[in-house]
């Protein structure tokens, strides 16, 4: 079954759209969906493309408008959707005229329709069309599949299954968190929803569908799988003094199949949105855009308002590579679970604090745009630190094997400010892990002299300076002397305080100072020499 322009125009997500040209070409097959906002778009238009645009790249050039439609038609793309509003109050006549001459569909999108409203459902439909070619011979399977094809979600599926078999239905995620329950509440005992993970694994090793005897009723449970990976579980409860019948086994099998499709659709929606956000974030950080207006408009279509002022917080999983080294025991989807769980915790906290939901997950990093423009500088820092501390504590509590490092950038204005804050948050983590091993939260404002040193990226030069200043003290037999210098520096050269920190007599300290001066061949009465030693110790922490 092909996905045509005509079929898409009838979908709910295209409500408000108007066909302006190409009425006799609606049978064109849609093979993929994309956005065109750059001048050289003509070079990468392909057959079957369903394109979305605001018209920014051709808004002032009638010839470009005509040539774009000609190229779209020549390359047999499916349709062009133009969003009204910012650049066109009405779709240019030259576009409509050329499209009608070439029998090419032009669709007008209302101003309040965002790209995401179309990209996500259409991408899902493009994915699903291959999957939905299965033959459905049984009524239960057919009815459940009809629910999915008509756009029904997990709630509708559970309701349909409940009506078909007259038994309570429970759908859970991979962690056995309740997603949907339909039926008699007394049939669902909260303490019997969760099955210990080890017990569940043993059950699934023996049978794909398992019958569990509860107090007065039975529970039939099966995993929802895609490509061998468990996405969740679906269960049927017999009800008090009733039995599980053969048809219930078949119904559960069919339900698991269509629920897997629905979960996969949701997963693909999330993946499309994630890819769009990562692409946008990369372009923002790398300044890979022709104008700020373009990047701001792209962000608005993903519900990001980049015209607000943010400070950037980066959550970094420590030694994330070890999870990939352990793939024999830890499936890759379990790593994805960890990433998803961390992102859920961060989003939950942002919702709790009524903040903008701007969270980007890149491998082991979770980047948060934290909006605290209404706070003064002192409260801004305290509030963002408290926010991150709560998240880090919750993540480490829920995922015992995880340790997080958190970096904070400064609060600045505009796109350049976001870029600067992100770079500072990254530097805060990189330096903080080296200079303060007791903490896992590092603010760029607290780096002090390291703000300067981190910009000196010539490690060979820094290492040479370190050896030149501390050389003899770096040998193992002189470790006490190294600690002595460190104590003096941290005590602002207060000998009494340094002796107390080292737990030695003042005379012993004086002896060590003389020995240090002799080994280093420096005058420790000279303040400039102390400054060099201070810098050498800071460099030592960096290396």
Is the predicted pLDDT of residue 131 greater than 70, yes or no? no
Same domain flag for 140 and 225: yes
475-505 as b/e: b if 16+ CB within 10 A: eeebeebbbbbbbbbebeeeeeebbebbebe
Q: Give the angle 459-463-467 at the CA atoms, nearest 5°.
A: 175
What CATH number corresponds to the domain at position 435?
A: 3.30.70.270
pTM of this prediction?
0.53
Provide the pLDDT confidence category of residue 187 given band limits of 50, 70 and 90.
low
Same domain flag for 505 and 443: no
Share of the chain above pLDDT 90, in %: 27
For 316, the 3-state DSSP assignment is strand
Question: What pLDDT sits at residue 234?
Answer: 94
Domain range enclosing 538: 459-542
What CATH number corresponds to the domain at position 482?
A: 1.10.10.2840
pLDDT in tens, 80-95: 999 998 888 899 999 9
Question: What pLDDT sits at residue 70?
Answer: 93
Is the predicted pLDDT of residue 1 greater than 60, yes or no? no
Q: Hey, which of 58-72, 373-387, 438-452 has the most confident mean pLDDT?
A: 58-72
Same domain flag for 125 and 147: no
Contact 411, 311 (CB under 8 A): yes
Q: 453, 476, 496 — which closes off a domain?
A: 453
What CATH number corresponds to the domain at position 245?
A: 3.30.450.40
Provide the pLDDT confidence category of residue 134 given band limits of 50, 70 and 90.
very low
Do the domain assignments include residue 416? yes
Strands 404-412 and 441-443: parallel
Q: 266, 299, 323 — which closes off a domain?
A: 266
Question: What pLDDT sits at residue 137?
Answer: 36
Is the predicted pLDDT of residue 136 greater than 70, yes or no? no
Same domain flag for 252 and 232: yes
Lowest-confidence pick of 45-59, 100-114, 399-413: 399-413
- For the record, the structure tokens of 464 come out as 């040479």
Do the domain assignments include residue 284? no
Do the domain assignments include residue 283? no
What CATH number corresponds to the domain at position 92?
A: 3.40.1390.20
Question: What pLDDT sits at residue 495?
Answer: 79
Stretch 445-460: mean pLDDT, rounded?
66
Same domain flag for 439 and 472: no
Is the predicted pLDDT of residue 515 greater than 90, yes or no? no
Q: Report the candidate in 467, 471, 488 with the shortest Cα–Cα distance to residue 534.
A: 488
pLDDT in tens, 322-337: 756 664 555 666 777 7
- For the record, the structure tokens of 250 come out as 């078949």
């Amino acid at each position: 079954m092909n996905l045509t322009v005509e079929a898409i125009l009838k979908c709910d997500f295209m409500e408000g759209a108007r066909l302006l040209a190409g009425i006799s070409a609606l049978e064109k097959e849609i093979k993929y969906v994309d956005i065109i906002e750059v001048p050289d778009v003509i070079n990468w238009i392909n057959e079957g493309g369903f394109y979305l645009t605001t018209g920014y790249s051709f808004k002032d050039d009638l010839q470009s408008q005509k040539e774009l439609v000609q190229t779209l038609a020549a390359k047999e793309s499916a349709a062009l959707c133009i969003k009204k509003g910012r650049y066109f109050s009405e779709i240019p006549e030259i576009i409509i005229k050329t499209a009608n001459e070439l029998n090419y569909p032009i669709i007008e999108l209302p101003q309040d329709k965002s790209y995401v409203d179309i990209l996500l459902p259409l991408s899902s439909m493009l994915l699903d069309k291959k999957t939905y070619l299965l033959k459905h011979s049984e009524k239960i399977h057919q009815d459940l599949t009809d629910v999915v094809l008509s756009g029904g979600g997990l709630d509708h599926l559970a309701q349909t299954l409940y009506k078909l078999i007259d038994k309570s239905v429970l759908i859970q995620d991979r962690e056995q968190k309740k997603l949907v329950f339909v039926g008699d509440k007394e049939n669902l005992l909260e303490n019997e929803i969760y099955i210990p993970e080890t017990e569940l694994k043993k059950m699934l090793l023996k049978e794909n569908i398992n019958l569990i005897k509860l107090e007065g009723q039975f529970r039939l449970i099966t995993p929802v799988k895609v490509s061998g990976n468990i996405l969740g579980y679906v269960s049927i409860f017999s009800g008090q003094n009733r039995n599980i019948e053969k048809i219930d086994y078949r119904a559960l099998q069919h339900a698991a199949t269509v629920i897997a499709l629905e979960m996969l659709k949701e997963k693909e929606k999330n993946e499309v949105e994630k890819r769009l956000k990562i692409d946008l974030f990369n372009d923002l950080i790398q300044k890979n855009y022709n104008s700020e207006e373009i990047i701001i408009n792209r962000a608005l279509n993903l519900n990001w308002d980049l015209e607000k002022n943010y400070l950037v917080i980066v959550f970094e999983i420590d030694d994330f590579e070890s999870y990939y080294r352990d793939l024999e025991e830890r499936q890759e989807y379990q790593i994805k679970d960890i990433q998803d769980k961390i992102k859920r915790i961060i989003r939950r906290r942002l919702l709790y604090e009524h903040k903008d939901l701007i969270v980007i997950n890149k491998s082991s990093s979770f980047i948060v745009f934290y909006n605290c423009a209404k706070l003064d500088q002192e409260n801004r820092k305290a509030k963002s630190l408290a926010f991150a501390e709560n998240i880090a504590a919750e993540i480490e509590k829920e995922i015992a094997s995880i340790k997080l490092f958190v970096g904070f950038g400064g609060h600045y204005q505009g796109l350049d400010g976001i870029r600067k804050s992100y770079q500072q948050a990254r530097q805060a983590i990189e330096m903080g892990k080296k200079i303060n091993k007791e903490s896992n939260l590092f603010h760029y404002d607290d780096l002090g002299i390291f703000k300067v040193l981190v910009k000196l990226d010539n490690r060979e030069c820094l290492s040479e300076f370190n050896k030149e200043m501390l050389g003899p003290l770096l040998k193992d037999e002189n470790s006490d002397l190294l600690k002595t210098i460190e104590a003096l520096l941290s005590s602002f050269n207060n000998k009494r305080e340094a002796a107390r920190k080292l737990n030695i007599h003042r005379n012993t300290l004086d002896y060590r100072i003389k020995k240090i001066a002799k080994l280093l061949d420096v005058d420790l009465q000279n303040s400039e020499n102390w400054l060099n030693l201070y810098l050498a110790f800071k460099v030592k922490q960096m290396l």
